[in-house]
Chain A
Amino acid sequence: MKRLAAVVALLGLATATAACSGGTTNKSGGSGGGGGGLFTTIDVTRTGLEATAPANPYNPKGNAFVGFNAMRIGWVKNHLTDPNQALPGIAASWEIAPDNSSITLKLQPNAKWSDGKPVTAEDVKMSIGIAYTQGSTAFSITPGAAGAAADVTVVDPQTLKITQDMANPSPKFARGVLDTNVLPAHVWSSVLPADFWDKLKAARGDGADAEKAREEITALGEKVIAFAPPKDVSAGPFVLERVNPSEALLVKNPNFYNAANVAPAQVKFLNYTGNEQIWNYLTQGKLDQAGFTATPTDVMNRIKQAPGNEIIKGYSPVAVSMAFNQSKKPYDNVHVRRGLAYLINRDEVTKVASPEGGTPAVTTSGIHQKAAQAWIPETLPQLEPYKPDVAKAEKEFEQAGLTKKDGKWTLADGSAWKVSMHAPAGFSDWLSAQENIKTQLTKAGVDAEVVTTADYPLYLSELNAGKYDVGFWLMALGPAPYDIYQRLYGASNGWTNIGNKVTHAAPGKNGNWMGGPEEIEVDGAKINPGELTAKLNSVGDAEAKPIMAQLAKAANQDLPVIQLWDYVNTQFVNNNRFTGWPKDDELLRGGGNVLMAGVWIQQGLIKAKQ
C-alpha cells in the first residue's frame, strides 16, 4: 500500500514538474500586438527578484527594468573616446553646445506613457529634480562638483535646455544629462515639494541656509527610493504586468512611440540567485539574451552547444588590477611592485580566472588596451610590458633590499613576507585569479595567501579604511578620460577635485588608501598625476591625449596597481526566436544598470524570427 502511495506521489510530482516546464517553454508567435511572442531574459544587474518591490528605477530592488519599462532621456553608448554619444531615448535628438556649456533636448513627438498621457518637457524637468535628490553626476548639489548642471529651462512642451555650471565644467556633462531616468509627473509629482526648485537654488549658495537646503534635498532621496507608484506607468516599450518570486512579466506598451517596431509581445525576467543558475538557463537555451556573466570554459562550451545560442563579444571599458596599499611595507618600494609585476604571468592568470570574459593586459597603462589604441597609440609600445621574468624580478627585489633565505624572500629586516591578497567572497573570477597568483608567487619563493571578505560593500569599505595590503581593484572605467585615470590618481590615491581645486590628502587620510607618492618623475620631469587627472575633466580630446600619455607612463613605471586583464563584454543571445542582435561594440554595453537588450528592442533592432 505504502509503495503504491509512493508511486502515486512520484507520478503527481512528475506531472507537476511537467506543468512547470510547460509554463516556461518559450514559443514564438504568441499573443500580443507585436506578434513576436515572448522574450526571455534576466536582469544581470541584480540577483533575485523581489515580488513586492515597487516599479521604481531608483529602488535598488525595484521592478523597473531600465530599457524595458523604465526610460532614460538617452541611452549612452560606449564609444572609445567620446563619452557624449548616445542613442535616442525619450529625447529624439539633442544639441550639445561646442563648449559643452549646454544641451538642448528635443523630445520624441509621439512619446506617451502607458496610460495614454503624453510625455512632456515637464515630466523630464520633474525627473531631473528627482535625479538631484539622488546626486547623479550632472545633477549634483555637492558644492563645486565637476560637470554639474546650473539651470533647467522648459523651452516648450517638447524642448528643454540644460546648462552646465561653467565654474567647474566637465566634457561629459551631456552624458550625465542623457543618462537620467524619466518618470511621469502625474504619478511622481507628490514626491517633490512644491518649492523644490527654490530649494535647489538655495542649495547652490553658501552658508547655513544653503547647507540646510542641501540636507533637505538629500533627505528627499530616501523618499524617492521608497516611493511606490500604485501601478507601473511606463514610457518604455514595455510595462510591468506582474512579478512573482520566480519571474517578472512585462507586456508590450501599445502607447510606446516606436511600438510598431517592438518585436516581442511580452518579456519575462527569470529569477536567479547565482551564476550557476544563469548557466543552467543558458545551457537549456531558455534565454533569448543575457548580459555578461563570468563563465568557466567548460560551461561556456556547453552553452555554445545549445541550439540557437550565440556568444557576442565586444568592448567593455573596465579592467581589473592588483592594487597596493603603499602605506604598508614593503609595497611602498616601487622595486617590490615591479618585482611582483615581473613574477605574475598575466596570461596564465586570465586563462584560469576569466578565460571567456577577459584578455590579458598588455601592460599596466591605466587604460583598457582597446581604448589605449585610440588614445595613446604612440605611447603604448614605449611602455614596459612586464613580461614574466624571474631574473628581472629578483633584481628588483634585491634593489628593494629584500633578501632570499632558504628559497624564500624576506623583508629587508629579515622578517617574513607574505603577500596577503583580499577579494570579496562571491567574486569567483577574482578569487580564482588570486589563487593562481598565489601559486605563481610561492613557486618563485614569495609567500602568499588569499583572504576573503563577506561581500563587496564590506570589501570596499575595508579596502578604503586601509586594512588590506593588496586587493583587487576595478580600473580604466571609460569612456571619459577623467573617469579612466581617477581610478588610479583620484580619491583612493589622495587627490580630491572640488570646485576645480585639487587637493591631496596624506596616506591614510580622507580615503587615501593607495598612499602613492604625490609626484612622479616621468621623462626626467616631475609630474603630479592627480592634478593631471583632474585636468582631464575640463580639456578636449586633443589636449587630453598628451596628458593621458604622461599618466600612462607614470602608471607604467610607478605601478600603483598591476593591470591584470581587460574585461571583454560577453553577451549571450539565442537566434531561435529573435534575430538582429547588434555586433557593434558601442551598443553592446550601456551605462550603469541599463539593460541593453531593452534598448536594442526599442530601437527596432531585434526582429522576431519568421
Chain B
Amino acid sequence: MSATLVPETASAASTMRRNFWRGVWRVMKRKPSRMAGVVILAGFILMAVVGPMLLPEHLPGDTSSITQPPSWEHWFGTDPQGRDVLALVVKGSRYVLLTAAVTALITVVAGTAIGLFSGFKRGRWDTVLMRLTDMKLTIPGLPLLLVLATVWQFGSPLQMGLVLGLLGWGGVARAVRSQTLSLRERGFIEAARGLGLSTSHIIGRELLPSMAPYIAMNMLISVTGAVYSQVGLFFLGVLPYESDNWGVMLNLAVFQAGAMVTPTALGYLLGPLLAILLLTLAIVLVVDAMDEIFNPRLREE
C-alpha cells in the first residue's frame, strides 16, 4: 500500500510545485510593477555582489573636479574628494545589503522559532517568552543602538546585522505566535494530531508552510528596517566612518559638501538617497506580489 502511495505523493508534490511557480508567474505578469520590483531587487543584489569587484579597492579622486554636479561623465556628480558618486554608491551597496540580509535572517529565524514554540506550547513557556518579547518591544531601537554604538564599533556588516537582528525579532515573534495560536485550533492540525504525527512534523510540515508567506513578508519588511537603521546610524555619525557608506555619504553631502545650500552637491545627496528609495520600492513591490501569491483570497483568477 505504502509502495503505491509514495510515487503518487511525489508526483502530487511536483505538480503542486509546478502549479505554484505557474501561479507566481501569473501574479507577476498581472502587474508589471511587480516585475519591476523583482528586477530592481535582483539588480541590487547583482550590484552588491559583482559591483565592488569591478571597481578599484580605493576609488581614484580628482582634486580638479571636487563636488561636481551630475554630468555624462559622472551620472551623480562627484564627492568633495573628486570621486564618482555612482561608484561610491555601488561600493557601498555590499555593506548595506549584507547587513540587511543578516538582519533578515536573524529576525526571521529567532522570531519564528520563539513565536512558533510559544504559540504551540502555550502555558508557562508562552508566558515567559512573551513577557520577554514584550520587554524587548518596549525598548526603543534607535536610542539603544546609539548607546551600543559608543561601546561597539560596527565595522563589519555581520556585526551590524547581528545587532539589528537581535533588536528586531520581537515583532515577528509576536505575529508568528498569534498565527500559531489561531492555526493550531484548525481542523488539519487536529487531524495531524489525531493521526499521531510527531510535534516536529506538525510544526515543520503543517504549521510552517501555512505561515511561510507571512514570515517571508516580515523578512522583507525587516530588510527595509535594517537599511533605514544602519543608514540612519551612519548618517548621525555614531558609527565608524567609511567614505563609501550610504549613510556617511548622506552625512557628508549635507554637512561637508553643503547639498542643502548649493546645487552642485545635489548629486552627492541624491546618489545614496535614490539607492535607498529604489531598494525600498523594490521590496514593497515584491511584498505586494508575495501577498497575492500566498494569500488565496487575493488571487484573482
Contacts and interface: CB of A to CB of B under 8 A. Distances in A.
A452 B58 CA distance: 18
B55 interface: no
Interface residues of A, number: 31
Contacts of A302: 261-262
A341 B241 CA distance: 24
A312 interface: no
B237 A298 contact: no
Interface in B196-241: 237-238, 240-241
Chain B at the A interface: mostly helix, strand, loop or mixed?
A: loop
B80 A296 contact: yes
B254 A276 contact: yes
Contacts of B96: none
Given A352-B80, A435-B81, A439-B61, A275 B262 contact: no
Interface of B: 57-58, 60-61, 63, 66-67, 80-82, 150, 237-238, 240-241, 243, 252, 254-258, 260-262, 264-265
B261 A431 contact: no
A98 B293 CA distance: 93
A455 to B, nearest CB: 9
B66 A428 contact: no
Contacts of A296: 67, 80, 256-258, 262, 265
A431 B122 CA distance: 55
Nearest to B238: A454
A280 interface: yes
Given A274-B255, A276-B258, A435 B265 contact: no
Contacts of A379: none
B241 A436 contact: no
A442 B237 CA distance: 24
A426 B237 contact: yes
Contacts of A13: none
Contacts of B81: 352, 432, 435-436, 439
Nearest to A442: B58
6 smallest beta-carbon distances between A and B, as pairs: A299-B258, A452-B241, A428-B256, A425-B237, A298-B262, A298-B264
17 contacts: A276-B261, A279-B258, A279-B260, A280-B260, A296-B80, A297-B67, A301-B262, A302-B261, A302-B262, A351-B63, A431-B252, A432-B80, A432-B81, A435-B243, A451-B240, A452-B237, A454-B237
Central interface residue in A348, A435, A454, by most chain B CB within 10 Å: A435
Contacts of B150: 454
B256 A298 contact: no
B63 A432 contact: no
A406 to B, nearest CB: 13
Given A352-B63, A432-B81, A436-B61, A298 B241 contact: no
A431 B254 CA distance: 14
B264 A431 contact: no
A348 B62 CA distance: 10
B243 A450 contact: yes
B252 A439 contact: no
A451 B58 contact: no
B162 to A, nearest CB: 21
Nearest to B236: A425
Contact of B241 (A283, A301, A348, A450): A450
A439 B81 CA distance: 9
